[in-house]
């Protein structure tokens, strides 16, 4: 991680990012408690790490990253995303949206608001996504 993403991540944690990472962890714990929600919990815990330190990383389609479709990127993944959206995605997205609006009101908060908007979109449809460093190639497909 370069110096700019490191500085942005430190400021992110201080000015609201920590709370949304905790919300993602809470969603993951709730999913684990239900037992059948464990696949969604795994995605929630992965995104909690991304929500804690988002700068210098990005979320991309796992099919694009791997070079082929798997269970989470096909029809089962879409069904899983719909279930996620109904159970947890909408309130996580609203949390990110609310913080983004508050941070966008200041000029200094605009980069953080933009990161919250990206996370709000990810909160709605997280299954079949992978978090990668921003400078990594989009595909590491097996040849």
Cα distance between the two ends of the chain: 28
What is the greatest pairwise CA distance in the chain? 48
State residue 92's pLDDT score: 93
State residue 67's pLDDT score: 87
Question: 80 in a domain, yes or no?
Answer: yes
Question: 141 in a domain, yes or no?
Answer: no
State residue 143's pLDDT score: 40
Instruction: Count up the domains in the chain and report the number.
Output: 1
Question: 53 in a domain, yes or no?
Answer: yes
Question: 71 in a domain, yes or no?
Answer: yes
Question: 111 in a domain, yes or no?
Answer: yes
Task: Tell me the average confidence (pLDDT) per consecutive run of 10 residues in the chain, 143 residues long.
Answer: 90 89 94 89 92 93 86 86 90 94 91 94 92 74 45
Question: 18 in a domain, yes or no?
Answer: yes
Question: 120 in a domain, yes or no?
Answer: yes
The Cα 96–Cα 121 span in angstroms is 9
Question: 89 in a domain, yes or no?
Answer: yes
Containing structural domain, residue 123: 3-133
């Amino acid at each position: 991680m370069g110096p700019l993403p490191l500085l942005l991540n430190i400021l992110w944690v201080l000015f609201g990012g920590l709370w949304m990472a905790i919300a993602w962890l809470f969603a993951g714990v709730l999913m684990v408690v239900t037992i059948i929600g464990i696949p969604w919990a795994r995605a929630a815990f992965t995104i909690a790490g991304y929500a804690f330190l988002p700068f210098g990383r990005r979320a991309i389609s796992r099919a694009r990253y791997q070079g082929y479709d798997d269970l989470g990127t096909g029809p089962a993944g879409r069904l899983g995303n719909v279930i996620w959206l109904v159970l947890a995605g909408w309130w996580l997205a609203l949390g990110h949206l609310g913080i983004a609006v508050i941070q966008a009101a200041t000029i200094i908060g605009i980069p953080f608001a933009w990161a919250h908007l990206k996370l709000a979109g990810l909160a709605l449809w997280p299954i079949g996504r992978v978090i990668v460093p921003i400078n990594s190639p989009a595909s590491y497909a097996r040849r």
